[in-house]
Amino acid sequence: MKFPRRSGILLHPTSLPGPAGIGDFGTEAYRFIDFLERSGNKLWQVLPLNPTGYGDSPFQCFSASAGNPLLISLETLVEQGVLSQEDLQPPPAFANHRVDYGAVLRYKVPILTKAAHIFLKGSVGNERLEFDHFCRANATWLDDFALFMASKNVHDGAPWTEWAADVAARKPGATHDWAARFAAEIEVVKYWQFAFFQQWQALRSYAHGHGILIIGDLPIYVAHDSADVWANRELFFLEPEGNPTKVAGVPPDYFSATGQLWGNPIYNWSLIKSSGYSWWIERFRAVLRLYDIVRIDHFRGFEAYWEVPASERTAMNGRWIKGPGAELFSRLQQELGELPIIAENLGVITAEVEQIRHQFGFPGMAILQFAFGNDPQGPSFRPHNYVQNLVAYTGTHDNDTTVGWWNSEGTIDSVRTPEDVVKEHVFARTYLGCADEPINWTMIRTVLASVANTAIIPLQDVLGLGTEARMNLPGTSRGNWRWRFRPDALSPELAKRLRELNEAYDR
């Protein structure tokens, strides 16, 4: 699909301001959409909105279909009459620039649980009909997810492979018995999903009313400790006890001498194919109900994926295995029509990967930060080599901010030496024509001026923030996904500056 010429901002909702210690779908989300409109942007890109698991990562979630209940706005529940203002306990003194996930959980979960009990006990008429309809319409994933989360809570958060053997293995009758024993807890989980989707769709409708489309993110893999794997064990390479025999990652490259070992279980593609790719069709159907455009993370894994024995400590001793290729996307297109997909084609990209992308017209990605160093893909990331059907970024959630990248002497997430950094800066200054303009605005201007039809800027770059505002450092499991912007950051002057650039470059 070829997208029209437009621009947008990358910002995960957890990074919004707000009183509950984490961004949510409340007032500040609506204000951000207003800012997008005033600044001439037409796209809002978010990371996966699913319930986070290990390391609070939106790329390691308990479900590929469910929503993260921490994004539910408590203030909206008050406005709806589910909660009263008195039900909102005074929040602790949360930092306004970082998310403390432990503190947020301790504060929000009891209030969300109370909201569920109030709703489930007192809802009547249309409210109850809407809830019941939601549960029926989403039963294919919601029933398994609700039982998974209730069972996980009973087992003190342990991975499903450490649960009682009967429910871990989903033995005949076990899931029915557990569902009956923990029916009340299951209903709470279902209410949270109802509230999440109700609030998200209201926010998305508001965005549409202001000319803003949502770009969402679909990771190719799902977490091992998830309802997806627990309820569909046959679709993955697992031991009889449920642990993976083969896991996902990427091989060593310029940015990592040992590769990246993600640990997600590998799909049994031959079995998935024999079912007509039904699991993937339903996954895409669900994600297209959430977003207008979908960025597929690690798109190259559909052509061939790096398979590593689960016993390995690094990703070095893996091998490339052919994936489903174009056949999967042909089936998706048959079932769902034209696919509004952005293909993340970073890393080791082959001609076969690009052939699939071109066959379906999926735009690829270019990262301006990578254009000036020794990255083998660097030449393709230089704007004079861009094509129109492309999504150009200054950086992504996995990069340092532009200011942090520019000020570094050698980044901690790559093999760049100080000498490499000096050469990179010399070339960048020549290429970008750096003058007195701050580097973040030079990079923003360059991306917006390019021929790429889609230009996306992380909000950290718009705000000119340094490494302290970085969202994620790949290969680490602590301290990520925590950044929030301050309530007064989105000034009228900032919106005006962005609008002038967007108008100058016909976006």
pLDDT in tens, the chain (507 residues): 889 999 999 999 999 999 999 999 999 999 999 999 999 999 999 999 999 988 899 999 999 999 999 999 999 999 999 999 999 978 899 999 999 999 999 999 999 999 999 999 987 678 899 999 999 999 999 999 999 999 999 999 999 999 999 999 999 899 999 999 999 999 999 999 999 999 999 999 999 999 999 999 999 999 999 999 999 999 999 999 999 999 999 998 766 778 889 999 999 999 999 999 999 999 999 999 999 999 999 999 999 999 999 999 999 999 999 999 999 999 999 999 999 999 999 888 999 999 999 999 999 999 999 999 888 888 999 999 999 999 999 999 999 999 999 998 765 555 678 888 889 999 999 999 988 899 999 999 999 999 999 999 999 999 999 999 999 988 788 899 999 999 999 999 999 999 999 999 999
- Contact by Cβ (8 Å): 216, 13: no
**pLDDT at residue 254, as a whole number:** 67
| Distance of alpha carbon 1 from alpha carbon 7, whole angstroms | 16
Q: Is 344 a catalytic residue?
A: yes
Note the pLDDT of residue 23: 98
Per-residue confidence (pLDDT) for residue 410, from 0 to 100: 61
End-to-end CA distance of the chain: 18
Task: Assess whether 225 carries a catalytic annotation.
Answer: no
- What's the CA gap between 33 and 490, in Å, rounded? 11
pLDDT of residue 54: 84
| 408: its two tokens | 């570094």
Ranges of each domain in the chain: 6-504
- pLDDT confidence of residue 415: 63
Query: Is 24 among the residues known to form the active site?
Result: no
What is the dotted CATH code of the domain comprising 6-504?
A: 3.20.20.80
- Per 3-state DSSP, what percentage of the chain is helix, strand, and coil (rounded to 5)? 45, 15, 40
Catalytic residue, candidates 56, 228, 344, 461: 344
Instruction: Kindly list the distances between the CA atom of residue 162 and the CA atoms of 50, 230, 234, 483, in Å, as whole numbers in the listed order.
Output: 23, 12, 18, 33
pTM over 0.85: yes
CA distance linking residue 110 with residue 380, whole number of Å: 50
pLDDT of residue 278: 96
Is 448 within 8 Å of 507 (Cβ atoms)? yes
> What is the Cα–Cα distance from 71 to 14, expressed in whole angstroms?
7
Structure tokens at 7: 């621009």
Nearest residue to 455 via CA among 470, 443, 467, 469: 443
> Distance between CA atoms of 340 and 480, rounded to whole angstroms?
29
**Pairing mode, strands 246-250 and 304-309:** antiparallel
Q: Which parts of 155-298 fold into alpha helices (H)?
A: 165-168, 174-181, 183-209, 227-231, 269-274, 278-290
Report which secondary-structure segment, H or E, holds 295: strand 293-297
Q: Please tell me which residue in 297, 303, 424, 461 is annotated as part of the active site.
A: 297
Please report, as a single letter, which amino acid is at residue 432.
L
- pLDDT attached to residue 252: 85
Residue 54 carries which DSSP code?
G
Q: Give Cα 389 to chain centroid, integer Å.
A: 22
- On whether the CB atoms of residues 214 and 206 are closer than 8 A, the answer is no
